[in-house]
Structure 1
Amino acid sequence: MSRQKTLEQHDRLSLDMSPVGMTVMPATHVQETCHPCTQATLAFGCDLLQASSAILFWVDSAHFVQTIELTGTEADLLPEYFNNGFYTYDPLSIRKVLNGSNNVLMLDHERSHNSHDHNQIHDTFLQRHGIVDEINFLFRNENDAVALLSVMKRQVDRTPFPTDFQWEALRRYMEFTLQQHPQMRDRRICRALKEKFQLTNKEVEVVFLLEKGASNWEISEIMHIGVSTVKTHIVNILNKTGVGSRAAVAAYMRSL
Structure 2
Amino acid sequence: MVLAYNRVPLLVCVGILAAVTLILTEQRLEWPTPSWFRWTYGILTVTLLGFAIKPLRRLLISNRLLGLYRKLLPTVSSTEQEALDAGTVWWEGELFSGRPRWRRLLKTPRPALSEREQAFVDGPVEELCAMLNDWEICDHYRKLPAPIWDFLKEHRFFSMIIPEAYGGLGFSAQGNSAVVTKLASRNLTTAVTVMVPNSLGPGELLLHYGTDEQKEYYLPRLARGEEIPCFALTGVSAGSDAASMPD
| TM bucket normalised to smaller | under 0.3
The structure having more radius of gyration, on CA atoms, is: 2
The TM-score with structure 1 as length reference comes to: 0.20
Higher RCO structure (Cα 8 Å, ≥6 apart): 1
Structure with the higher strand share, 1 or 2: 1
Structure with the higher helix share, 1 or 2: 2
